[in-house]
Structure 1
């Protein structure tokens, strides 16, 4: 049965990231339904809101909004009521709950999470660190890393590191290359080291795509060890054995998104620091990530 398309308006006085995340998370549960997104960000004046209202009148549909300015909120709600379309401030219930628990009124401050404070500059610094220590570069600076990811080529190390950097985490990544030794800095690492692994078939497909992108097609693709099934399988197995020998936990990224991989890395980092601070027995790994050499969850292979 075909479903009619609906318009969804996301109205924010900031970047709109919150609304985009909420819409993406909720709409993922509705398969085979076509939703046309209308994103309106940085709406901070009546003139800017008028453009939104005009668009809403031409293509009416439900509205999700995060607006701090009360006059803009009221104007938007009045138009929605007149047009007969639902309108929801997505943060109001959460704000009411927290105000009741904290016992204080929230300040009417737009984009409070995007201020250029110490946390902001920490994220920028982390981004620079990832760039300088990507794919085995700048190994002498690994001692400054907060986590180091290791794994075979194209096992999602780089995108995971960049996602972590956006959380303010200095992440280095080092490729495990057949026949090549790891940098000496990983002999006695000062930060948690996490291995990323991936199923053979998925890795071969990612590498084939990579070769096509760089123009290395034809006979090279059919002969190179880079995508030879037996060679790739051996490479993955050798990498896992290395992680087992070093006692590094491993995450299988075959059917895991970058966000899920990064979340598991953060859990492993927390467990590593807890063990180090308490000096107690090794904490159990988080769901989806076991010690190296054991089954390590599911995930989506990405290029590294």
Structure 2
């Protein structure tokens, strides 16, 4: 009996060490997404079930980005992206990604700028990481669950989830209202790749209808940090405001099982309000209390009537 107990204890110990090593590998892979990059964006529609469908032109662009780790705990890593334009003279707060481990709660995109809170079982998320992607104003975008795989020197994470239209098409198209994203993120020798197999869908009460499929490649190539000096200075001036923005949004997420946001109030988009507040806060050195008060007023104005 003692030998059997010792055997079980040894097996449990080996499994625990293996799981911890896997978690450490996952964390290192996620942390390596931060850095200084030249980014290229390439998208092309590949298929449509409609013979009369007119394929849209391919999208190609490039930019410079800095990705900064804002928060790091054993089961959460927060990375903020900043878009660097006109050399290093114009900075735009870009998207944010929160990575959470074995997280049982997500905001799932529905349609028409609305998200529903979904609770998952512990088995559904065991050993998995959720990538929570937020818009430039820290409002929700999409949240996806997947496992990091580390095999033969390859480090890869895959997921599938729904999201709003991409910014490159949100002001130009109205023939679909949901982007079903097939996300494949993997590290490369000089950075990382975000490969996508997307479905453009019309979602209605009768169900989902496929409009077209799309291939996307976003390549992040490491570049010289020296060209990001102003970006880092700019963020130091702004980071207090955006820390308060994240905290304020977290309260909103906690208090609501369904969130729907109006696209415009007084003919202004939500991010325009946030960017203006951020600049004013940095200039006038607002307190955290004043930041949160002003941010909450803006969010409340854009929150649409909640679903019953």
Larger Rg: 1
Structure having the higher helix fraction is 1
TM-score by length of 1: 0.24
TM-score (norm 2): 0.24
- Counting strand residues as a fraction of each chain, which structure ranks higher? 2
